[in-house]
């Protein structure tokens, strides 16, 4: 019982981190059709900026979080204009994969040059260090905070895409970019805004998840397969698909580590093959962006 | 795909018939200057022998480069001639290496037999997984190929008694080639053996891509709908070529196992798959020799730069890769061809 509860809390928290990072990838993939292997690198940059802001500049945790997200978005926007805009579209997966692998390598090398190869931490404020009691059980505050932030992200994205003007334009562009442009939607600006949204979410997930996915220069390469798996199973462009896939993946992975520590990866990838064999467009193929 | 076939066949039957009769649409773009013709194979052989005399102290590295070139060549068959973007070629390489290595440790000692065993193993795993995953496209296919590689690596990691797990498989000690040429400590035999295998593989690959089957695969790459309208099954061609490439990758893995004497878990890793893709694209896809040139360039620069600091290497290769995608989409070979075309045009004017 104790173990099951531990699995549930850790699994859901882990799944929420995966969700926050992957949903950014899912939205950009759904709209721009870019297989962005540098997404993990963007998450890593967010984490490193927050770590630097908190440890070297002494900013409090919330400020470090905001600075990290803002700086990551500012730093990656020129990349959208200079690099990504040339590889948008369906037909060029190979070019996308190679360009974004190249970009990942450059970011990894740069981060290592600036911050060194050692593990970086983002010190948590006292507020997040204790535990909160939940009936007879107690769960670590940080896990509860992560789960809460994941839920807020989910609801916020749903509201943004389903209830705002921006969301309507975005969904129109996802369904038919040429028609959307013909109707007067400025798709280039839309692409830029969506790219910023995606990298912002990556940075947010990178900062929040620093406890679970430790920050080191190879972060960008180590975890990208996980993020891509979430998007492939969830279906590109589907928010709730990403959330369900991320939670399922987080819980299975955590359960595997607790219960059958030897064959976790094997079952994970076997399940991935079976799911994608049956549902090549993702388990939760949705039409919403 | 199948649902679209009848409508295309019925509505455009006359059109399609006329096009296939008057201007063979699949054969037309094949006679491009990118085909270096017969000259490439002897050039590789001569350059390989020259390297043998020029760098006698680096034969270990050179042998690794040759085996890797064969591995990248197998990826070229899949990517360059079928248009399958895959991040899982190391699954076949690793399977070939491990099966050949296990056979060498337990039963077989003849190097050529070991290559054959590795090739069969690579081909079988490619056939089995290809039939399972090749209906997918894009990100889904990439993820499936990654997943296959991870499973192969995980199995190799867990089957400790056979593979040595994370310690690697060692103790591979093959007999002399043809019973006459012993594998020496300096690696002369290894190098020449690997060079011979690569040259033979290039000839075979050249024959395959120019066969009717190879042309059909290119047809699938250019326009799968038309191939099925003409009565072919695109997926069958893709799976067949995937299996053929699996044989090449398996032989490359076995070659590595035979010449180096050890097999490690990294031979079936995601990064080894990604590196194959990088090497191939650096050299240029769809032209066989691009695989050789890309591998030589990549591994030579890697050897020089990574010796100082692996991160210097990552920065360099990252920038280089981005440059190739943005400015030289056909790889190094296409750069040479463009240069040659430019010079020729200048010569014509003068």
pLDDT at A156: 93
Q: What is the DSSP letter of B34?
A: T
Does A235 reside within a domain? yes
Angstrom distance (rounded) from CA A227 to CA B171: 39
pLDDT at B270: 87
Say if residues B268 and B149 touch (Cβ distance below 8 Å). Answer: yes
Asked if B322 and A106 come within 8 Å (Cβ–Cβ), the reply is: yes
Does A288 reside within a domain? no
Among B146, B155, B329, whose Cβ lies nearest the Cβ of A95?
Answer: B329
Among B158, B281, B315, whose Cβ lies nearest the Cβ of A109?
Answer: B315
Question: B319: which chain A residues are within 8 Å (Cβ-Cβ)?
Answer: 102, 106
DSSP B149-184: HHHHHHHHHH-HHHH-GGG-B----PPPBTTTB---
The CATH number fitting domain B37-309, selected from 2.60.120, 2.30.30, 1.10.3470, 1.20.1270: 1.10.3470
- What is the distance in angstroms between the Cα of A93 and the nearest Cα belonging to chain B? 7
Closest alpha carbon within chain B to A92: B138
Does A283 reside within a domain? no
pLDDT at B16: 41
Spatial neighbors of B98 by CB under 8 A, at least 6 apart, are B121, B156, B163, B169, B253, B257, B263, B267, B268
Tokens of B347: 């010569």
Asked if A105 and B315 come within 8 Å (Cβ–Cβ), the reply is: yes
Q: Any idea of the CA torsion for B291, B293, B297, B299, to the nearest 10 degrees?
A: 50
| pTM greater than 0.90 (yes/no) | no
The residue extents of the domains of chain B are 37-309
Size of interface A-B (CB pairs under 8 A): 128
Asked if B154 and A269 come within 8 Å (Cβ–Cβ), the reply is: yes
Does A6 reside within a domain? yes
Number of neighbours of residue B266 by Cβ within 10 angstroms: 13
Look-up of token digits 């959330």:
A243
Nearest to B263 by CA among B174, B163, B191, B185: B163
pLDDT at A69: 95
Residues 105-134 of B with CB under 8 A from A: 132-133
One-letter-per-residue 3-state SS of A257-283:
HHHCCCCHHHHHHHHHHHHHHHCCCCC
Does A286 reside within a domain? no
- Domains in chain A, number: 1
Closest alpha carbon within chain A to B318: A102
Angstrom distance (rounded) from CA A105 to CA B325: 14
Angstrom distance (rounded) from CA A226 to CA B150: 12
SS3 B121: helix
Closest alpha carbon within chain A to B134: A277
Does A284 reside within a domain? no
Asked if B325 and A265 come within 8 Å (Cβ–Cβ), the reply is: no
Q: What is the DSSP letter of A138?
A: E
pLDDT at B62: 93
Please give chain A's pLDDT, 289 residues, in tens.
677 888 888 889 999 999 999 999 988 888 888 888 899 999 999 999 999 999 888 889 999 999 999 999 999 999 988 888 887 765 677 888 888 989 999 999 999 999 988 888 888 888 888 888 777 777 888 889 999 999 999 999 999 988 899 988 888 888 888 888 899 888 888 889 999 999 999 999 999 998 888 898 888 888 888 898 888 888 877 888 889 989 988 888 888 777 776 666 777 788 788 888 888 777 766 443 3
Say if residues A173 and A190 touch (Cβ distance below 8 Å). Answer: yes
Question: Whole domain around residue A77: which residue ranges?
Answer: 2-278
pLDDT at B128: 94
Does A61 reside within a domain? yes
Query: With b meaning 16 or more CB within 10 Å and e meaning fewer, what string describes A113-125?
Result: eebeeeebebeee
Among B139, B143, B326, whose Cβ lies nearest the Cβ of A272?
Answer: B143
Spatial neighbors of A56 by CB under 8 A, at least 6 apart, are none
Q: Taking chain B (350 residues) in consecutive chunks of 10 residues, what is each chunk's mean pLDDT?
A: 40 41 43 57 88 88 94 94 90 95 90 94 95 84 89 88 84 80 81 94 92 90 87 90 96 94 89 90 86 91 83 87 82 79 72
pLDDT at A91: 62
Angstrom distance (rounded) from CA A238 to CA A31: 11
Among A90, A109, A269, whose Cβ lies nearest the Cβ of B151?
Answer: A269
Give me the helices (H) in chain B, please. 4-11, 13-22, 40-54, 59-82, 89-106, 111-133, 138-158, 160-163, 188-210, 212-222, 224-229, 234-260, 270-283, 289-306, 310-327, 331-349
List the single best residue of A37, A94, A115 to mutate versus B (max B Cβ within 10 A): A94
CATH number at residue A71: 1.10.3470
Among B147, B278, B315, whose Cβ lies nearest the Cβ of A106?
Answer: B315
pLDDT at B292: 93
ipTM computed for the complex: 0.82
Q: What is the pLDDT of residues A59-99, one digit of tens each?
A: 899 999 999 999 999 999 999 888 888 877 656 778 888 88
């Amino acid at each position: 019982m104790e173990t099951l509860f531990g699995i549930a809390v850790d699994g859901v928290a882990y799944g929420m981190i995966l969700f926050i990072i992957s949903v950014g990838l899912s939205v950009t993939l759904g709209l721009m059709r870019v297989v962005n292997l540098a997404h993990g690198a963007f998450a890593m940059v967010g984490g490193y900026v927050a770590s630097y802001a908190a440890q070297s500049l002494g900013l409090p945790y919330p400020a470090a979080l905001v600075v990290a997200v803002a700086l990551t978005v500012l730093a990656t926007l020129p990349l959208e204009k200079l690099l990504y805009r040339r590889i948008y579209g369906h037909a060029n997966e190979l070019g996308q994969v190679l360009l974004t692998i190249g970009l990942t390598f450059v970011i990894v090398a740069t981060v290592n040059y600036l911050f060194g190869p050692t593990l970086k931490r983002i010190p948590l404020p006292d507020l997040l260090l204790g535990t909160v009691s939940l009936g007879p059980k107690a769960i670590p505050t940080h896990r509860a905070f992560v789960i809460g932030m994941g839920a807020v992200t989910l609801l916020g994205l749903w509201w943004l895409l389903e209830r705002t003007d921006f969301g309507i334009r975005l969904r129109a562009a996802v369904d038919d970019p040429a028609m959307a442009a013909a109707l007067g939607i400025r798709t280039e600006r839309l692409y830029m805004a969506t790219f910023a949204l995606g990298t912002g979410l990556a940075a947010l997930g990178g900062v929040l998840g620093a406890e679970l996915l430790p920050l080191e220069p190879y972060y960008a390469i180590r975890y990208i397969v996980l993020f891509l798996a979430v998007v492939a199973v969830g279906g590109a462009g589907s928010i709730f698909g990403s959330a369900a896939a991320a939670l399922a993946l987080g819980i299975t992975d955590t359960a595997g580590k607790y219960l059958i520590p030897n064959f976790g990866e094997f079952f994970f990838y076997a399940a991935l093959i079976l799911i994608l064999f049956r549902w090549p467009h993702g388990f939760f193929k949705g039409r919403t962006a | 795909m199948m649902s679209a076939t009848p409508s295309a066949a019925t509505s455009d039957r006359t059109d399609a018939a006329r096009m296939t009769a008057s201007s063979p649409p699949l054969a037309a773009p094949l006679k491009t200057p990118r085909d270096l013709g017969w000259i490439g194979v002897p050039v590789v052989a001569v350059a390989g022998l020259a390297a043998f005399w020029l760098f006698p102290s680096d034969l270990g590295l050179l042998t690794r480069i040759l085996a890797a070139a064969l591995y990248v060549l197998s990826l070229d068959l899949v990517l360059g001639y079928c248009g399958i973007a895959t991040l899982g070629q190391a699954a076949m390489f690793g399977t070939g290496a491990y099966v050949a290595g296990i056979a060498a440790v337990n039963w077989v000692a003849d190097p050529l037999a070991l290559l054959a065993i590795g090739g069969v193993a690579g081909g079988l795993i490619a056939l089995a997984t290809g039939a399972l995953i090749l209906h997918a496209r894009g990100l889904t296919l990439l993820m499936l190929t990654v997943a296959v590689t991870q499973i192969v690596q995980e199995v190799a990691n867990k089957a400790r008694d056979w593979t040595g797990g994370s310690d690697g498989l060692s103790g591979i000690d093959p007999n002399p080639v043809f019973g006459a040429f012993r594998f020496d400590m300096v690696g002369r035999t290894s190098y020449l053996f690997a060079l011979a295998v690569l040259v033979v593989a290039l000839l075979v690959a050249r024959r395959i891509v120019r066969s009717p089957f190879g042309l059909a695969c290119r047809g699938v790459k250019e326009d799968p709908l038309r191939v099925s309208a003409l009565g072919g099954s695109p997926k069958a061609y893709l799976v067949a070529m995937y299996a053929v490439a699996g044989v090449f990758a398996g032989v490359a893995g076995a070659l590595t196992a035979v010449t180096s004497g050890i097999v490690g878990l990294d031979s079936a890793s995601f990064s080894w798959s990604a590196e194959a893709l990088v090497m191939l694209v650096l050299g240029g896809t769809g032209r066989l020799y691009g695989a050789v040139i890309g591998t030589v360039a990549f591994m030579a620069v890697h050897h020089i730069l990574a010796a100082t600091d692996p991160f210097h290497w990552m920065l360099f290769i990252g920038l280089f890769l981005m440059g190739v995608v943005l400015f030289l989409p056909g790889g190094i070979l296409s750069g040479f061809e463009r240069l040659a075309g430019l010079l020729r045009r200048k010569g014509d004017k003068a």
